[in-house]
Structure 1
Amino acid sequence: MTGQPCDIPGASHDGAARLYPGGWLCTAHAPKGRPVVVPAAAAASSPARHRTLPTAPCSRQVTAALRIDFGTGFEIKDGDRAGQIWWKTDPHARYECVACQWRSDNVTGAAAVQNFTDHIRTTHQAVCPAAATQQGAHAA
């Protein structure tokens, strides 16, 4: 599908424009694939099985993890309990701080998990001895 002008204005263009997720782009502005790096020794001795892709160094690190299991529940459709949920396995959650190695107890039950996940990050950061020295991402 061609015929549209490239969406990047005022730049040098190369080739006909094609439709990409980012819009109509010419060959010069089209997304480039990431290069695959194969170690020279591995390429000469055997076919490459493990290929490493270059990655940019990350300045952030994970300092805490929130694990949530939403459980398995079924809504009751009929009878006097219609609209309620029957839990085959209860929802549960746990929080772990990588910075200070603290781990919470498992919290079980839909309402308890909701309350726990709403407040645990800020509650723990207030008492975490490593919170003042660590800046990072929280994995949820």
Structure 2
Amino acid sequence: MRTQGKRAVSAAALLLATAGAVVAGGGPASATAADCSNGANGFVTVSDNASGAVARHIEPYPEFIINLEYGTIGGVQRGFARLRGRTVQGDKVWMDWTRDAGRTWIQCGPFTVSYLFAPKTSAAQRTSRDANWRFRACGRGSGANESFCTTWW
């Protein structure tokens, strides 16, 4: 019986990982939006209309799209979180950033959607070839009890 339970848990974990969605949890070190904008801690502000190449993508609800994107911003390749689709005022997006492969991370944000169907981005942080330097994008609907995150990139 215990073996079947372990297999069921492993199968569920594999299914979640394969789908690319992770329910956010754990104890990140939080950083406010101000701690991650306008050059603070190496982050730069990104226009809410900015878009880049999609590194990770989840759609926890129809047309509620959370992307981890990257592109050249200010001459440097940077990653950022982007929420788009059927957003409403109060929806939130943020980017988690780790320098130790996800054992600990900084939650940069959240950044809050201002009006109906508006896209919203997090601040952007430079990318790195270091395998421990990773990002994931997270979001939460204004009336939801769960947060959703992409897998690490």
Q: TM-score range by the shorter chain?
A: under 0.3
Q: Normalized against structure 2, the TM-score is what? A: 0.23
Larger radius of gyration: 1
Q: What's the TM-score, normalizing by structure 1?
A: 0.24
Greater RCO, 1 or 2 (C-alpha within 8 Å, sep 6+): 2
